[in-house]
Amino acid sequence: MNSRPTVFLVGDSHAASLRIGLKPFLATKRINLIGSSIGGCMWSNIKIYQDKLCRDINFKVFDEMIRVKPDLVIIDNYWSKLARNGSFEQDLLGYISELNNIGITKIVVVGQIPTWGESGLPLFLLHNFAEKGLAIPWRHPRLVIENDGPNSKQENMRLFKYPKGVTYLSMDDLLCNREGCMTMVGANLATDLIVWDYGHLTNAGSKYVSERLFANIELLITK
């Protein structure tokens, strides 16, 4: 019988990029990681989807959660995109309520990753620093993507009225300070940028984030 705790990671392509570093990190702690990346389909009341494909995918994911009975569910998503059409707080809380209804009470919400404009971090650093012979900065103010909604800001997400058992983990707190947000996690530009586009973690970035954001994951599982 497998006695290891199980974590279920759900979200969109941002969750998929987090998974790259999170899976091997949790393995060192003897914690299993499974999950599904299903995009924007998940962020609403899954019982009233008009899109049959979205509804079917979500029910399959929920069926898998019921079967596996994970000790912890992690939700990661590109929240800025969802916020463009207004507040997504009720959608997220509704999804968490659905998780509670199937017996999942320990949940982590991963906050919005700092974004680097439509062209992405690599091109920004290339055009503004490398091509000009300037040193690549380790930190720089984020480049908010046009039309990103105000409700995606960290100070708003951390104030959502989460039910008991939900922990909010801020990417901002980890990656940013008054000088700006991290552009790199190491000195090798070929491998160590934090993201490879506007906000998807590189392999090195995912490893860096996973080892720090989830350093105390055992406490989240057992609390």
Tens-digit pLDDT profile for residues 151-161 = 556 668 889 99
Is residue 110 in some structural domain? yes
The answer for residues whose C-beta is within 8 angstroms of residue 15's C-beta and 6 or more apart is 9, 35, 37, 74, 75, 76, 77, 110
Contact predicate 45/96, CB 8 Å: no
In a domain, 126, yes or no: no
pLDDT in tens, 29-49: 999 999 988 776 665 555 555
Q: Please give the Cα distance from 109 to 73 (Å, whole number).
A: 9
Whole-angstrom distance, CA of residue 215 vs CA of residue 219: 9
* pLDDT average per 10 residues of sequence, the chain (223 residues): 85 94 97 86 58 80 93 92 75 90 96 91 95 94 69 74 95 93 94 96 98 96 85
The H or E element containing residue 72 is strand 72-76
Domain that holds residue 171: 6-114+148-181+200-217
Q: How many residues are recorded in the chain?
A: 223
Residue 209 has a CB neighbour count (10 Å cut-off) of: 25
70-83 pLDDT, tens digit each = 999 999 998 887 77
| DSSP three-state, residue 187 | coil
pTM flag (> 0.85): yes
Has residue 223 been placed in a domain? no
Domain total in the chain:
1
